[in-house]
Structure formats: structure tokens, C-alpha cells
Structure 1
Amino acid sequence: MSKTERGIALVTGASSGIGLATARALRRDGYRVFGTSRKSMPDTSDGITMLICDVIDDASVQSVVDEVLSRAGGINLLVNNAGLALFGGAEESSVAQVQALFDVNLFGAIRMTNAVLPSMRRRGKGRIINIGSILGLIPAPYSAHYSAAKHAIEGYSESLDHEVRAFNIRVSVIEPAFVRTIFDQNGIKPDSILNEYDGARANLDALLRDVMPKADLPDVVAAVVVKAATDAHPRRRYTAGKVAQQIGMLRRFAPAEIFDKILRKQFRLPV
């Protein structure tokens, strides 16, 4: 397939950060791109059509998928990018707050996928790419619920890939590490702040201040999305960026005790 015939791509959470970079990269690669955001936004100068979609609302999800199918006749690629961050001690969040996080980060992707799959099955082809995280592979102190959602995305994506391959549909998950976006600034704050975690919270804030200026740009992740979307034989998992690749290798090959010490040192916890 030539770059001028890639087909139709739908990218959630495309108003900024990884989503916007991905939408632009796919457009440059020859896709006709529809992006979504929770609020109305003008179409971009790059030729990306922006539509309103709230991934926690079934009707909103079905409406945006129907709109794209009506305008373009099909969807070749779905990129599930919409998500929220939550930093804090695990016990600082109520079950209701964790459910709200999962409603976006996991169930939002499931809603979008369920809405898109019928048309892909009828056409006998399609790609679904879920933006996961390297935290879907490793533990993440003070990001337990976010990490849990990303672990769930990993299991969901790989299982779904096995189910839909018979219809010539493939599913991949992208695993970035730290990325230079405002994602962490727009996250959910724990709803039951405990003084016992003040020191750890300060250490985490300091860590983020140190690593974010040196983190990968969203374009790094976007390039990996394009690769996953266009590979003749797509993999189920793609790491994005050098740090994510290094962590993935450590997780796979380092002895558990050594990996544990490295992780605790990284998060400025007592070893």
C-alpha cells in the first residue's frame, strides 16, 4: 500500500501531546486522520479533522465512530490514546476514584474498540493500537492504579489480538516511558491525601522535575505508532524511546533482586 493510500485513522485524545503528535505523523504518512477531544476544537492546519468524543460515554463513542464511517466509509486504524494520570500512594485513592481512572484508561479503549470492530470485521482488515506504558510491564510506586490500568491494557491487547487475527485485524500496544507532555500536570490528584506520604510525594515530584525536561518528545512515540500501523507483520508490543527499551531489557533479563534495587533507587526509595 502506498503512502497516499493508507486509509482512515481515528485517534482519541488528539488535542495535545502524544495524541496530537500521532495524528500529525499519520497524516504525513498518508492517512486521512480524524482526531477526538472532549471539547470542540477546530480542525488542525495539518488536515486533521477534529471531532468531539468522551470515551467514558457509550453514546458519545458510538456517535463519533458512526460520524467517521459516514464521512469516510470505513476505519482502517484506531489509536486508543485518551488517558489520565494519577500519582499518589495507593491507599490515598478511593475505589470510586480508581474506577474513574479505569473508566478512561481501560474501559475507554474497550468502548472505542467495540464500536470500531464490527466495521473492521465486515471489511476484513484493520489495525488497533493502544497507547500503553512501560509501567504496564513494571511496578510503579506511587502510580499503582495507573500502572494497574496499563497492565490491564497489555493483557487486553494481546488477548484481543489472538481473537481478531482471523478477521485480518491486528492489535498492538505501544510502551513509552517518560514523555515530555503536560500529561502529568493534568492528572487526577488523590482524593484522600495522607501526611504519611508527604516525603515520598516530595521525592516523586523531584524525580519528575528532573526527568521530564530530558524525556522523549511525543514525536518519538508517534513514530513508533506509525511503524506499528504499517508493519507488514506487526508485533504485539513496541517499546518507544531508549529509556523504555532499557527498562524492558532489564525487566526481562536482570535478576529480580537487582531489578528491585534499581527500581527503588530510581524512585528514591530506601534500598
Structure 2
Amino acid sequence: MNKTNPGVALVTGASTGIGHATAKTLQNAGFRVFGTSRRAVAQRTDGVTMLTCDVTDDRSVAKLVYDVLAEAGRIDLLVNNAGVGLIGGAEESSTVQAQALFDVNVFGVLRVTNAVLPAMRRQGKGRIVNLSSVLGLIPAPYSALYASTKHAIEGYSESLDHELRPFGIRVVLVEPAYTRTSFEENLARPDNLLDVYDAARAGMDVIMRKAIETGDAPEVVAETVLKAATAPVPRGRYAAGKMARQVSLLRRFVPASAFDKSLRKQNGLPA
């Protein structure tokens, strides 16, 4: 593989939003790209091959990787992008709902990664880019369970990277902030709504919609994924967009009490 032929990329959740933009950006950069969607979609006209995969199903994931290897012979880059959201008070979700969220956002990443790793080890090289979020770095009132999945991906990715370096494989994180996608329209709602959280939940809905309307374009995140995927010596994490970079710096250098006060103010919470 070289700059003119960087190899074969597999992007999960590539039918819309960040995944769609990422697949297109990688294809334009020379990758042969396979994208996935949970349900069958029309084949794209930009050179990206779309395949059906449910990341919560072991057999579906195994078939996906088998089909890509049968057609392309290798997988050089895996972008774990598939995920779902959930907004509401943490106690408004049953453990069943929380487990379903983790099954997509965390165990889905584990399933696809584990399925791809044998091929990457045989090749002696590979890159895995996991889509995290600034909510993997900071608290997220009324998104506690979603933020927990991203915190989990952060710890998993950093740890896995150390395990895989001897095989020529690197694992990196890309951390977007609010992005102009249909993410908020696809948010799950708590399965045990409590009146006590109605006002706060409605307020967070408004804040999120406004933030997404003024957020980064999906292409900003896609370009960051490309950078993380092709850097000869990658960093462990890449903030995607101006807001994400600002949040990352603030989290690292602002005193905890000041950060706490600012976060509550930004989220419309009483001091």
C-alpha cells in the first residue's frame, strides 16, 4: 500500500451523516471503500460499495468481514462509526435499554474489530479509527448513558492500541463535537419517562438542536478521519473541528471547579 493506493477501508454506519461523508472522503483519497448500513440501501454512485450489517449480530459481522475479504483480499483500515444516541435522565432508562445502547456503541465496535483483526495481523499492518465524541471526555447531563459508551470506547481504544502495536496495527480516536447530521432525529427516548425530568429534558432538546444547526459539517469530521487513518505515526486522539479542539483544551487545562461551572451554564443548569 502507498499514497496512490492506500488500501481497502471498511466504514460502519456509512449510509448517512459522518459515515457517509467519511466513506466518500476515503474513496476520493484513493481507498477502495466498503460501507455498511443496518438495512439494505441503494448502491452509491461514488465508488463506495455498500453492504448490509447489523453490528449487534455476531453472524452478520462475520459475514460482512468474510465478504469484504473475499472480494478485496485485505482490510487496511477499519472505521467504527455505527452508533445510536439517547437523551434523557439517566434513571429514566431501564437496564434493558442501557444494555441495548451499549450493544451498538461499545460491543458493536468490539465485534467488528475482533472480526477484522486476524486479517490485519496476517498482513502485518492495519489502522483502526474509532469514532468517539467530546462526550467521551466530559460530563454530559441528560446524556449520561450515551456519554458512558463514549468513555468506554476511549479506554478500550487507548488500551487496545498498546496491545496491537507489535503487529503493526494502530488504534486511534476521532472526537467530534456537534455535527450537522440527522443525529438528533434518530435519538432514542427513555423507556421510563419521569415527570420530574420533563422540563430539563425539553431544555436539553432545544440546546442540542441549536448546537447541531450551527455545528460542523460531516465533511470536517471525515477529513479528520482521513488524517487519523493516513498519518505515518498517528496520535492517540484527534479532535474534529474547532469546538471539539476547544473542549479538549479546556478539559485538560481549566481547573475542575471552573469547568464544572461553565458546563452547567452552557447546559442551562442552575448553579
Question: Common fold, TM-score beyond 0.5?
Answer: yes
Name the counterpart of 1:15: 15
Q: Secondary structure at the match of 1:4?
A: coil
Q: What's 1:143 paired with?
A: 143
TM-score of the pair, normalised by structure 1? 0.99
Tell whether the 8 Å contact from 2:184 to 2:209 is kept in structure 1 after alignment. no
Whole-Å Cα distance in 1 between the matches of residues 73 and 206 of structure 2?
49
Matched ranges for 1:177-256 at <5 A: 177-256=177-256
**Residue-by-residue CA offset, 1:179-205 (whole Å, 9 max, x unaligned):** 111112112110000000011012111
TM-score by length of 2: 0.99
Q: Residue by residue, what CA displacement relative to the aligned partner does 1:105-141 show, whole Å, maximum 9, x if unpaired?
A: 0000000000000000011000000000000000000
- Separation in 2, partners of 1:25, 1:172: 18
Structure 2: tracts of 5 or more residues without a match? none
Q: 1:267 corresponds to which residue?
A: 267
Amino acid at match of 2:100: A
Instruction: Say which SS state the counterpart of residue 268 (structure 1) adopts.
Output: coil
How many residue pairs were aligned? 271
> What SS class does the counterpart of residue 196 from structure 1 fall into?
helix
CA distance in 2, matches of 1:208, 1:133: 14
For structure 1, the residue ranges without an aligned partner over 5 or more in a row are: none
What does the per-residue CA deviation read over 1:29-80, in whole Å, with 9 as the maximum and x for residues that have no partner?
0000000001112221110000000000000000000000000000000000
Q: Where do 1:74-153 residues align within 5 Å?
A: 74-153=74-153
Deviations 1:211-238 (A, max 9, x none): 1211001000000000000001001111
Kindly, what percent of the aligned residue pairs are identical? 62
| Residues 217-261 of structure 1: CA deviation (Å, up to 9, x unaligned) | 100000000000000100111100110111111100000000001
Aligned equivalents of 1:6, 1:198: Cα separation in 2: 50
**2-11 vs 84-93, greater mean Cα deviation:** 2-11
